[in-house]
Structure 1
Amino acid sequence: MSDYKAPDNSLQLGAPSYRLAVSDAEFISNREEMRGLRFALEYTKADLTLRDWGVRSTIIVFGSARIPSPELAAARIAAAAPGPEREQAQKLGAWSRYYQEAREFARLVSVEGGAMKPVDGQRDNVIATGGGPGIMEAANRGAHDAGAPSIGFNITLPGEQQPNAYSTPDLTFRFHYFAMRKMHLAMRARALAVFPGGFGTMDELFEILTLQQTQKASPTPVVLVGEDYWNSVINFNAMVDSGLIEAADLNIFEIVNTGAEAWAALKARGLKPENPKRRKVP
């Protein structure tokens, strides 16, 4: 019987350099030089999953993550201490009607827009959101109410945004890069409905308006829900009066007050249940 003992190669086996490159999360995630590959991975994973599901086109819903559902608003108000805490809870709670409007909008889109009726394996007008709470939750919830699939394009944030409970699990994504998330939000969008929101909502809204204005994307109807809000926070006519945009640019969007009006406006602007042609990618 031989006394031979193979040399110990555990250090080699455990060395980072020995890991398969595709399995080396530290190498892929932490090297600045790998940013291009990370972009490609974020694009390709979501793209292939949506293709596998037959999602050909979407209707995007943007709006504040801070707007609570009526039931959450009531619970927060009841739990808040009298004074500033309760006043803040009541202030946000007053916005919950837009949660209801976004939920109803998404339900109508899902029932009437074709998301539940694939044609040759392709689904059109699937509700897509940023995947988080507030208006995003409301829209995913409206699709869920109808029994339709919906998409959540989440983003990793320092506060760690959690996905809401209503987006279709297989269509709930998470991105590191805002740019790649925005691309996926825009590239299949056949329409956009924007509810009251803050910096993030404005960022996403003007991204789409700019793509429309510069004709970098196919014509896409846009509705802003909440006339009082939008007319108070943005003076679009001042942009025209200053000569910095054209009067015709205001025709890119329409301002309405309810989810039902938003859906009617999109249909009046030419949105159809099915979209047999692939969209131009921004």
Structure 2
Amino acid sequence: MTRATTSGPTQGSPRDRGDDGVPQTGRGYRKGPVLLRGTQIPAQTTDQRLLAAGADADWVHTDPWRVMRIQSEFVEGFGALAEVGAAVSVFGSARTPRDHPDYALAVEVGRLLAEAGYAVMTGGGPGIMEAANEGAHKAGGTSIGLGIELPFEQGMNEYVNLGVNFRYFFARKTMFVKYAQGFVVLPGGFGTFDELFEALTLVQTHKVTEFPIVLVGTDYWSGLLEWLGSAVADRGMINPADLDLLHLADTPAEAVDYVLERGAALAASEREALAGLVEDQQEAADTPPAQQ
């Protein structure tokens, strides 16, 4: 008797294939949430591939496996940083030498933040990052470095006492935003601009609760702010009020004071809004349906 091959079970038993080995449509073959039919049905089951001897290792470089690595980076990052408490992310150039005035500014920023009770988070590398970590470390605070895998290895600077390394920029960026109550941005290049505008975008679009963002160095940042307020705002690309999300400071003390004061004001505003929402919900629950 010839075996029927026009339809097959969902899990893709031998009846999913004809006598000539050609996959049949049937109800399909499922790999987790993925449905495969016709020529998409694999020749082997997942278990067969898993247990096969002598298989190559190319699969560790495929996108599904990368998802597991991405997941592990989030898990490790969340686990390492969950108990650090209030923190501020400090950004700036990795190329700033130790004898540059900006390095001294960053050391003082890190020191003042630590003395104010904040953990200090940087990218963990040299330059401004090292300086902010140095200030926090010498003040007895929590000095955090979130490193990134790069072709030119920078390594974690010696002042980091809690370090996490990442393969993926987007996982690292999440940590900077999730665990920070403010951003202090010193002079830097593309990486610094990337972090700055990422934060601005998240706050401006209300994807995150607003937090203070401080630019340190009028001589460095004033040209950017002028361009944003003229060419960009004049074309309607941003609202002029969006520039209020940025605060310009020239001294570490001014920058840290703004983080403290603006952070406290935003927290109070958030608590007030939350209390109002709860009150409105309670009033709605207490109002008889006929009166609503």
- Normalised to the residue count of structure 2, the TM-score between the two structures is 0.69
- Say whether 1:251 aligns with 2:244: yes
Q: Gapped runs of 5+ residues in structure 1?
A: 1-15, 20-25, 71-95, 115-124, 278-282
- Give the alignment partner of residue 89 of structure 2, picking from 60, 72, 76: 60
Is this contact kept in 1: 2:182–2:263, CA < 8 A? no
Structure-to-structure mapping, 1:55-134, within 5 angstroms? 55-70=84-99, 96-112=100-116, 114=117, 125-134=118-127
Aligned equivalents of 2:128, 2:191: Cα separation in 1: 12
Is this contact kept in 1: 2:81–2:179, CA < 8 A? no
Answer with 1 or 2: which has the greater Rg: 2
Aligned equivalents of 2:237, 2:197: Cα separation in 1: 15
SS of the counterpart of 1:270? helix
Post-superposition shift, 1:106?
0.9
Aligned residue for 1:46?
77
Q: How many residues matched? A: 214
Aligned residue for 1:163?
156
Aligned residue for 2:168?
177
Aligned residue for 2:145?
152
Q: Gapped runs of 5+ residues in structure 2?
A: 1-48, 272-292
149-158 or 232-241: bigger deviation:
232-241
Post-superposition shift, 1:27?
7.5
249-258 or 262-271: bigger deviation:
262-271
* Stretches of 4+ aligned residues off by more than 2 angstroms: 16-19, 26-32
Q: Which amino acid aligns with 2:67?
A: G
Question: Could you say if the C-alpha distance between residues 174 and 230 of structure 1 is closer, same or farther in structure 2, counting changes exceeding 3 Å?
Answer: same
- Give the alignment partner of residue 196 of structure 2, picking from 196, 205, 229: 205
Sequence identity (%): 42
Structure-to-structure mapping, 1:254-273, within 5 angstroms? 254-271=247-264
**RMSD (CA atoms):** 2.3
Is this contact kept in 1: 2:211–2:263, CA < 8 A? no
Post-superposition shift, 1:29?
4.9
Post-superposition shift, 1:267?
2.2
Post-superposition shift, 1:43?
0.4
- Normalised to the residue count of structure 1, the TM-score between the two structures is 0.71
Aligned equivalents of 1:164, 1:49: Cα separation in 2: 18
SS of the counterpart of 1:138? helix
- Give the alignment partner of residue 223 of structure 1, picking from 214, 237, 259: 214
Post-superposition shift, 1:30?
2.3
Output one character per residue of 1:133-169: Cα deviation in whole Å (capped at 9) or x when no partner. Answer: 000000100001101111100000000121100010x
- Give the alignment partner of residue 64 of structure 2, picking from 16, 30, 33: 33
Question: Could you say if the C-alpha distance between residues 232 and 43 of structure 1 is closer, same or farther in structure 2, counting changes exceeding 3 Å?
Answer: same
Is this contact kept in 1: 2:125–2:157, CA < 8 A? yes
Post-superposition shift, 1:31?
2.8
